[in-house]
Amino acid sequence: MKRNLILISLLLFVMTVKSRDINTGLFVLLNQDNYVGFIEGGNEYTNSGTAKHPGIKYSEDSVFADTILSRPVRTETKCACNSIEWSWSRVDKAKGYKINFVNDFKTAENLYNDTCFRQLKLASNKKYKLFIWAFNDSAVSEVLQAEAYTLPLDCGCTLYDERDNEAYSTVQIGNQCWMGENLRYETETGSSCYYKKEVMVKEYGRYYDYDIALNACPPGWKLPTLNDINLLMANYQKGPLELYDYLTDDKNVGLNIKLGGYCDPIGSEMFHFFGATSGIWFTNPEIANKAYILYVYKNQRGCRIFDGNKLLRYNVRCIKTD
């Protein structure tokens, strides 16, 4: 009789600690016969002190150990060049699901009853991870760690520069894949924005001296060569006047070159011919230490190739390397 009263008292203690923090409390586990273990710090242990279900955290209601959840099972995963759609199976007795990009349930996002999550604005051809838990008011499942790769970038997909998270449109011109916008990457030296007005960077990009421009493009992209420029012009078989319209009008080919002029970092007036001309750096591997620009000018509505002064700063328009 005395033994039964003790067991009843212990059971009542367990049932009355609902407001106690599971991460700091200790809860006794009983079966019909005797003491079988305890919960401390959110983990269930046998009476010998061995973790019974490593990795599974319990709340107060789980002291009866009848609400352990199965781990979600990964189902179909749909990958594109800039997105991944993750899916997983429903778990019996689960109230909802949480996800995170790191293995940390405490900071996970609650998806409630959804078993699908679409991850957007991803870099192409890269591995990503997603951590998924099922949960209810009493328990949390073991984590499902899912991995998937985004597809290689096809021209027309968005290019995400992982160095600064800038996003660029891409455009297919013949067999070439070009960035549809001027480069905006801020280098430690050798680059400028229009009179330090960051708001102008989005539309006009940054201005780079030649030596910095050579290595300014993101991985997998490069400064165009003379051959690339010749192929670009030959693709349209147009004269200078028509070619000007093709290069500067976004409705035509998508290059949409902006007339941002150029920058002289040591001159009294840093920026020249803004709104009237534009210069794009390119290289000629056959002539070492020689810089060139594709120069577009509004007054005569034409474009030409010029030798470039390496100390002046022009825009960069990158081309895909493969």
- pLDDT per residue as tens digits for the range 8-48: 454 444 443 333 333 333 333 333 333 334 444 445 444 44
One domain, residues 247 and 201 = yes
One domain, residues 222 and 241 = yes
pLDDT of residue 12: 46
pLDDT of residue 68: 85
- 230-252: per-residue pLDDT in tens? 998 888 776 666 778 888 875 66
Backbone angles phi, psi at 250, to 5 degrees: -65, -25
pLDDT of residue 1: 54
How far is 132 from 73, CA to CA, in rounded Å?
Answer: 9
| Domain endpoint, select from 40, 64, 88 | 64
3-class state of residue 167 by DSSP: strand
Q: Could you tell me the pLDDT band of residue 269, with boundaries at 50, 70 and 90?
A: confident
Structural domain contains residue 71:
no
Q: How many domains does the chain have?
A: 3
User: Which whole number is the average pLDDT over 47-58?
Assistant: 47
One domain, residues 312 and 191 = yes
Structural domain contains residue 72:
no
The rounded Cα 193 to chain-centroid distance in angstroms is 25
One domain, residues 189 and 142 = no
Structural contact between residues 157 and 82, judged by C-beta atoms closer than 8 angstroms? yes
pLDDT of residue 252: 62
**Domain range for 108:** 78-149
Residue 10's H or E segment, with its range, is helix 2-15
Buried b or exposed e, range 249-284, using 16+ CB within 10 angstroms: eeeebbbbbbebbbbbeeeeebbeebeebbbbbbbe
| Domain endpoint, select from 125, 149, 173 | 149
Structural contact between residues 99 and 117, judged by C-beta atoms closer than 8 angstroms? yes
One domain, residues 202 and 112 = no
One domain, residues 173 and 279 = yes
Return the DSSP state at 306. E
One domain, residues 166 and 242 = yes
One domain, residues 195 and 141 = no
Structural domain contains residue 70:
no
List the CATH number of the domain containing 85: 2.60.40.10
Question: Which tokens in the block code for residue 259?
Answer: 């007339």
Pairing, β 191-192 against β 176-179? unpaired
Is residue 192 pLDDT above 90, yes or no? Answer: yes
Is residue 53 pLDDT above 60, yes or no? Answer: no
Question: Which tokens in the block code for residue 275?
Answer: 């709104």
Residues of the chain with pLDDT > 70: what percent?
76
Residue 231's H or E segment, with its range, is helix 226-236
Instruction: Tell me the whole-structure pTM to 2 decimals.
Output: 0.73
One domain, residues 170 and 225 = yes
One domain, residues 114 and 144 = yes
Structural domain contains residue 9:
yes
| Domain endpoint, select from 149, 179, 198 | 149
- 110-138: per-residue pLDDT in tens? 999 999 999 999 999 999 999 999 999 99
Structural domain contains residue 84:
yes
Look over the chain and give the mean of its residue pLDDT values, rounded to a whole number. Answer: 82
Q: Could you tell me the pLDDT band of residue 103, with boundaries at 50, 70 and 90?
A: very high
pLDDT of residue 20: 32
One domain, residues 264 and 316 = yes
